[in-house]
Amino acid sequence: MTVRPAKNFFPHPHLYSNFRLHGTLRSLALAVLCLFAWLTATAPAFAADTSKAPQRIISMSPSITEFLFELGVGDRVVGVTSFCVHPQEACRLPKIGSLLHPSLERWITLNPDLVIHQATSHTLKDNALNLGIQTLAVEMQSLASIYESVRKMGKVLHCEDAAERLITRLQSGIDHYRQKLKNHPRKSVLLILGDTDAPGRSLYAVSRIAFLGELLELAGGANIVADTVAPYPKINKEYIIDQSPQVIIEAGPASNMSAGEKSARLREWGRFSTIRAVSTGNVHFIGADYILIPGPRLLNILDDFARVLHPDLFSAPSDSPGKG
């Protein structure tokens, strides 16, 4: 079995955009940035017990942005990344670049009092602190960490009740699927991140330890990628042939294909007719904009997986609590 951790791999592709200043204005902005860095090199991270809730927030990921609007504090968000496309209100906000390449000049012009970012974004945190901007780190790697992060944001933003209501709704929705699938036979499944449609593309699978892997199991799947410490390991076709899953799912923006493109992709899979999913026509593509985002629309992801794996159980709209 060839299963290796991917280096510098992100489930969601990144495009980079920077707010551009020219001539004297750009030089002035950079000088101000350096001055802020010198004056505030030891600025503290956000104190959760502050008496005043932050009013000017920059969100550094689509999942964070979606949670902020779901918690009812979207009116406090002043900047989002280039990948934040939901809800519609977020699309109209100023863009501050990407997670890997944020525009610090834009940060200064937006004058935020809090930047919320993924816990692994150490450089981003350091940049914010050097500018005197308080930060809040959250994790979205598992369902447990998602719930914890929602509670953390609720506490810092003074919307604890909304946070608990949201968590209850998500957990209740998950319980619906768990109960409906109780004692129902699982299907072996391979979930591939459809991050590119290049002919020579590498295949990155979702393991059980990723939040998508958790949702796949909750949807009645038996993930064939189990023995790995990497959430998104690289795999080869030989391993897929050997495991011969009953269902193959390609999920990601590149899976949002036309009928013709899907037919072409299915012909590619058709070369491996010994794989059960291929021989029975159980290769599926999910290209919804939320499919890779660990945000408040995770019930949508769970529902998509459940309908692919067990269409006999999930056929009516009433089978999808909380989806929307």
**DSSP codes, 75-142:** GGEEEB-TT---SHHHHTSPB-B-SSSB-HHHHHHH--SEEEEETT-HHHHHHHHHTT--EEEE--SS
Q: Which of 100-104, 180-184, 298-302 has the lowest mean pLDDT?
A: 100-104
pLDDT digits (tens, 9 = 90+) for 139-179: 999 999 999 999 999 999 999 999 999 999 999 999 999 99
User: Which comes out higher in pLDDT, residue 3 or 298?
Assistant: 298
The alpha carbon dihedral of 148, 149, 155, 161 has a sign of: negative
Taking the whole predicted model, whether its pTM rises above 0.85 is answered as no
Give the mean model confidence (pLDDT) for residues 40-48: 43
Closest CA to 100 of 5, 204, 17: 17
Structure tokens, 188: 């072996």
Residue type, 301: I
For position 4, what pLDDT does the model report? 45
Share above pLDDT 70 across residues of the chain, in percent, rounded to a whole number: 79
For position 104, what pLDDT does the model report? 81
Residue positions counted in the chain: 324
Q: Which of 59-68, 114-123, 141-150, 175-184 has the lowest mean pLDDT?
A: 114-123
